[in-house]
Structure formats: C-alpha cells, structure tokens
A and B are shown apart, each in its own frame.
Chain A
Amino acid sequence: MVDVPIALQFVSVSFSYPALDVLEDVSFHFHSGEFIALVGPNGSGKTTLLKLILGLEQPQKGAITLLGQNPKKSSSLIGYVPQHASYDPTFPITVQEVVRMGMVASTGRGQRKQELEQALWALGQVELAHLASRPYSDLSGGQRRRVLVARALCAKPSMLILDEPAANMDKESERRLYATLANLKGETTILIVTHDMRQVSDLTDRVFCIDAHKQGKVGRTVVQHALEDYEDGTKRIRHDVHLSGDQCQKEGLDG
C-alpha cells in the first residue's frame, strides 16, 4: 500500500468538549481505494470523530489530512451519507431534487441541466432512477437511504463516508446498498461508520475501533483490529488482535 496515496490521516489528534475529553492522541491512516469500517459503541466518540473528518470540528492538538489537505478544504471531494434521523416527512421535495443537492455549492446556483443529468446518473447507480420524480417522503426507509447515497455520489466524490448506512434497513435494501458499494469499491475510497462491534461487510479491507487507551489516558483512541471471514459472508472483527492504527493491512499480515 506504500505507493497508494493516503486518503485520511490522523496524527496525534486530541479533541475535547469543555467538560469532556473525547479523543486523545489518536493516530491512524488509510489509503485511497480502501473500504474501511470505523466501529464504536454508542457514546464512544464516533460522531465527534466523524465531525473531525468532515471538518465540522477542529482538533485542539494534532493534525488531520483528508485527501492531501485540511478536511475543510477537501469537502468538495467528499460524498457524505448522514443518518438523517431527524428527517421531516412534511418537507416538500422530490427524489431528484434531494440528489441534486449533492452538487450544491456554498453560494450561488449551479447549471440546472448538468445537475439534472448528474442526478439521474447517480440515481441509476443505486437503481432508483425510475423514482426520480416521486416525492421523497413516499419512499421506504431503505430507498431513502439509497437516495442519500445517490446524493453523495452525484458530485463524483473521491471518497464516500457513510454514517450507520444499514440502520433501520430491511435485509433486501441492505443487500442492494452493499451491491452499489461493491461496484464503487476500488475507484472510490469508502469509509463506513457503524456501532456494530461484531461483524462488518465482506467488502471491508480494514477495521478501526474506537477504544480506551491502555496507558490510562482519559480520552479514547482508535485501534486497528484484525478481520476474519465469517460463514454468512460477512467479516468478524477480531477484538483480541490489535494492530497499530498506522499499520497497513498488507504490513499487518506480512510483518
């Protein structure tokens, strides 16, 4: 993996809220094209870590590099799929308009025709192009999540970040979602953030867990764990096998 550029790198990052040390001395990295799972139980600091990656929060110590630059500057290269748990079903908007939102700039208006073409392409990627004109609120939870994936894909990002992508999803929708991600794997770096501590998709190359420091530090850190194939086609996280956050999969297995 040495020749492949680093997609995300944390170097000795610490972050705390006024009365709470969340992350302390966190160092890890992964490379472009990898399929990464970042796992941690609820309340472990996943959301904070995600905000740091997305440039919505700044670390008090250390440095974060996302696609070669400060996360705030690389936001246009990121396709983000939030949980969108606070979705308002009365908001009047069509599927196609939600997807076009993926190309919205910080100011001004884009080119309508180009945005529309991109939106239909992105909807095709998640096999929902036939629902483009439907109200977003008419869709099932699984379909809505795939529309949000299409929205993230609309700007053809270098990296896709998905927050709890399979939450509240039925098995069929989950299967379709991972089929879409399988098609993107390799071309696009994919980071999935999840609370499932036991197993991850078989697409996963490496898994990072938010864990307590062994040296007795207050804030949490990120530790890489080994993966092993599971009989149902997923991968099981080996919590008993720790790797350094900065140890690449190839190095970890070979060395």
Chain B
Amino acid sequence: MDSLASFFSALVSADFPFVRNAFLAGLLSSVLFGVLGSVVTVKRIAGLAGAISHAVLGGIGIALYLSATGKVPGLSPMVGAVVFALLSAIIIGTVSLKSKQREDTVIQAIWAIGMSIGVLFMAKTPGYTDPSSYLFGNILLISNQDLVLLLLLDVVVVFLAWRFYPQIEASAFDEEFAQVRGIHTRSVFLIILSVTAVAVVLLQTFVGIVMVIAMLTLPAGTAGYTAKNLASMMVGATLYAFFFSFSGLAVGWVVDVPVGAMVVVIAGAFFLGKAAGNLITKRRRGHDQVAKSTS
C-alpha cells in the first residue's frame, strides 16, 4: 500500500515530471488507441496494422545506422520509421485492394522483412543498440514536446472520425453498399491505413511496437463485447485503454517492472477474461433454450 501511495504522490509531485508525463501520455494515447483501434477492429485490418508497426523497426534500424556512421548526421529514428510505415502501408494497401488472395502472405513478409532489416542495421550500428527497447519502448522517457505531438494527432484523428463517421461505418459494415452510395471505399481504406501508420510510428516511439499493436486491438476488442455501435465502441475502447495504461503504470511502479509489458499483460488478461465470460454466457443461453424447447 505504501508503494501505491508513493506512486500517487509521485504523480502529483513536481519532483517526478516523468511520472506525470507518462500518465498524460497514457491519457492522450488512449484516445488514439480507442478511436483508431475500433476502426481497425471493425475493418478487420489488425493484421495490417501489426505488420506496419513491426516493419517500422527496419526504418528505425537504417536511420540509427546512417546517423551513427555519419552518413546522414542527426537523422532521427522517427524519420526512418515514418518512411517505412508509409511504404509498408502503400504496399499492403495496394495488395489488399488489387490481389486479396495474396494479402496474408504479403502481410507476413512485410512484418518479417521489416524487423529483420532493423536487427541487421542495428547490429552494424556503432555503439550498443537494443532492439527490445523499440519493441517495448519506455513510457517514462516522454518529453513535453512528445505530449504536444500526441495531442495534435488526437485532435486530427478525432476530427476525421467525427467528420467521416457515416462513411467509415458504412464502408466497414457493407463495402459493396457503400460503393453503390458513391462512397470511395478504396480512398477511405487507404486513408485509414495511412493515418494508422502515422499514429503507429508516433505511438511506438513512446510505448513500443508490441504495446502499440496490443493496444490497437485489445481495448477495442474488449469494448466490442458490450458496445451498441461503433461510436460507443470508440468511447469504451478509449476508457479501457486509459484504464489499462494507468493501471499498468501504477503496477509497474509498485512492483518495479517495465510499464509497457505490464500494460499489455493487464489489457490481455481483461480481453481474455471478457471473451471467456462472453462464451460462458452464450453457452448458458444455449442450454436454457434447449431446456425450454424440450420441456
């Protein structure tokens, strides 16, 4: 209890700005995870988002190598990540639209090749570079500038989701019907993929690749069990994402373990618990119906 009390006092103390920043980053990224995660989930493109988020490691590795060897001095890993994210989004999006049957293979290929390129370039980068720091990130290293970037992305994503909600909902629910209504479903898909790619880059530099993909799917998946519509799924997923981030931060502080991994474990446990509860409820209903029909 003392540790938990110390966490709350650190949260409000001016002596521990990194704890407050981590809390704010959790709050701001929850909006992105909730809104984008819900769209990714109902569009069933979590695999695509997963491939993009892992492929960015290739861009990070190349940027680190070019910077450390002096070939492109001062090149930020984020630049490499953005280039790789958009490249993989274009490749995966094009294959998904033009050759659906190859989509699965291409997703896995982009996923594996991107990560491997990252590991290879990091191995040849002078000095010590740990790939796992990019896989799990460190939410405790977030600066005020990072928070401003997150806030800006929040505003853009929430505005786009509000403005084009009917088109996003229609193209995710029934693409053919949406096309007949004149919605450019391919453009909607490519814009969703591109915005997701940019968000993934920004988020993974803060919280790590693994946490990004987990938080894009698990809060939305958990909210999806009780949501009445896409909008309530977005709100529910945002609240779940914030709850997972906050409790991961608190537990990570109390038991002194990496916060990113803790957040993923808590989110995963909630999702699996909800899935199991849902399955049991469905089976009970099924049994009740059989009992009624036989009596």
Contacts and interface: CB of A to CB of B under 8 A. Distances in A.
A151 B169 CA distance: 14
Interface in B180-204: 180-184
Interface string A91-102: 111100110011
A54 B180 contact: yes
Contacts of B98: none
Contacts, number: 76
Given A93-B230, A109-B163, A56 B224 contact: no
Contacts of B229: 92-94, 97
B179 A56 contact: yes
A69 to B, nearest CB: 14
A88 interface: yes
A108 B182 CA distance: 12
Contacts of A110: 166
Contacts of A109: 163, 165-166
A91 B181 contact: no
A56 B232 CA distance: 32
B85 interface: no
A75 B182 contact: yes
Contacts of A93: 169, 173, 228-230
A56 B179 CA distance: 7
Contact of A101 (B44, B174, B182, B227): B174
A80 B233 contact: no
Give the interface residue-count category, chain A: 20 to 34
A105 B164 CA distance: 10
A143 B196 CA distance: 36
Nearest to A81: B177
B167 interface: yes
Nearest to A161: B180
A90 interface: yes
B172 A91 contact: yes
Contacts of B42: 88, 91-92
A76 interface: yes
A98 B228 CA distance: 12
Interface in B141-182: 163-167, 169-170, 172-174, 176-182
A75 B179 CA distance: 9
A88 B224 CA distance: 12
Contacts of B182: 75-76, 105-106
B180 A75 contact: yes
A101 B232 contact: no
Given A91-B173, A101-B166, A101-B169, A106 B228 contact: no
Interface string A76-88: 1010101010011
Contacts of A90: 224
B242 to A, nearest CB: 20
A59 interface: no
B17 to A, nearest CB: 39
A93 B229 CA distance: 4
Interface in A32-62: 54-56
B52 to A, nearest CB: 22
Contacts of B174: 82, 84, 87, 101
B287 to A, nearest CB: 19
A104 B170 contact: yes
Interface in B106-139: none
A84 B176 CA distance: 9
Contacts of A105: 166, 181-182
A54 to B, nearest CB: 5
Contact of A104 (B178, B224, B230): B178
Interface of A: 54-56, 75-76, 78, 80, 82, 84, 87-88, 90-94, 97-98, 101-102, 104-110, 135, 151
15 contacts: A56-B176, A78-B180, A91-B42, A92-B229, A93-B228, A93-B230, A97-B229, A101-B166, A102-B181, A104-B166, A104-B183, A106-B181, A109-B163, A109-B165, A110-B166
Closest 5 CB pairs of A and B: A106-B182, A92-B227, A104-B166, A80-B180, A104-B170
